[in-house]
Structure 1
């Protein structure tokens, strides 16, 4: 695979990189605050804390934002591989926001993060920012839908681990995946999760063909 040629970032590109660094810092602060809050109330099992798809997706989008910002400042043009990673993680974080609004927010405190501002960051700010960043910034290439399978790999592993843990040690990250509700209900929601990833992944991939409004690198 050839390395994309270097160029210089535009002023707008420097601005995009700066915003991504700021969003990454805010997201890290939200995750840390949530962890410290949990630690104040008792010992934290890292397998439980980091088992939430919300936490994992927010960490992943943080890594992607920092990585993409650095590549802009380095003057690196987007490659297919980097775009697939961005598209995949953007799909994850958008779904976090949608699932929270539709399924978890109605549960009140039980459905979110106890730290109010961190809950807002991880369930509203990062999903919206992730989608807007994908739409506006030009450091992406057109993606073919035949590569959509990449979006399903990580969630498939995550759901498999959750189902095994729910059937063995009884821990589940979200109420709708609790086996006590009956496996018919659990697998219904698993099916809905798969559909959500396919639909939103298809949307994100399709939007890669829409010209970006913010040119981050010089021609």
Structure 2
């Protein structure tokens, strides 16, 4: 409930107080945090109905972990110096880029039931980021707007990367990161599950 409430409130306020709300809506940070907020709201309803773990929630919770890792690392290492925030947006910028990702990671470590997932799940988790890149590039062809500099083939750094080839390299690099994150998420699930089985067997003996 806390994650969902803070997420919805931060997204709404960040957009409302933005000097360019329609640009804010296009950001991956906003869309991924909105996905997280919806996911944890659905989780609240599932817990109240005693259906704690459904395939859809499992999928969305895993997406949340991966997407929030991308949000916090991309912002901290690539985008933190790219804009100034004032007033309420100083707070929402912190909650969206740092606080909510940390809450999602903590929730996964401490509370989520670990399961054995197939490695094919990695490619399902990549669908939304890939679709986001495709839609952003198509929109850029129409109106010349790109939500991030590394998706802009027409400008040079710091506003673009100079060519579609460079954009393609950035996308490939990010997809590789998603694959690595998905691999580690599945691996960590299996490690946690393995130790849980050992502890259960030890306790019962």
Q: TM-score range by the shorter chain?
A: 0.7 to 0.9
Q: Does 1:23 align with 2:3?
A: yes
Distance verdict in 2 for CA 1:31–1:192, change over 3 Å: same
Distance 1:154 1:130, change over 3 A: same
Deviation at 1:129, TM superposition (A): 1.3
Provide the C-alpha distance between the structure 1 equivalents of 2:140 and 2:110, rounded to a whole number of angstroms.
40
Report the TM-score when normalising by structure 1: 0.76
> Does structure 1 residue 165 correspond to structure 2 residue 165?
no
**2:136 is the alignment partner of 1:155:** no
Provide Cα deviations, 1:145-175, integer angstroms capped at 9, x if missing partner: 1222111111111110111122221111112
In angstroms, what is the RMSD of aligned CA positions?
Answer: 2.5
Shift of 1:191: 1.3
- CA deviations on 1:111-149 (whole Å, 9 max, x unpaired) are x99811100000001111111211111345321212221
C-alpha displacement of 1:108:
4.3
SS at match of 1:145: coil
Q: Aligned partners of 2:53, 2:135: CA distance in 1, in Å? A: 33
1:56 is displaced (CA, Å) by 0.5
Unaligned ranges ≥5, structure 1: 1-20, 214-219
Q: Which residue is equivalent to 1:117?
A: 91
Instruction: Specify which of 190, 193, 196 is matched with residue 177 of structure 2.
Output: 196
Q: CA deviation at 1:178?
A: 1.4
- Give the gaps of 5 or more residues in structure 2: 156-161, 197-205
TM-score of the pair, normalised by structure 2: 0.81
Call closer, same or farther: CA 1:25–1:79 in 2, change over 3 Å.
closer
Query: Whole-Å Cα distance in 2 between the matches of residues 182 and 142 of structure 1?
Result: 41
Cα distance in 1, alignment partners of residues 179 and 53 from structure 2: 24
Tell me by how many angstroms 1:100 deviates.
0.8
After TM superposition, list the pairs within 5 Å mapping 1:50-129 onto structure 2: 50-109=25-84, 115-129=89-103
Equivalence for 1:177 = 151
Greater RCO, 1 or 2 (C-alpha within 8 Å, sep 6+)? 1
Count of matched residue positions in the alignment of Structure 1 and Structure 2: 187
Instruction: State the SS of the aligned residue for 1:129.
Output: helix
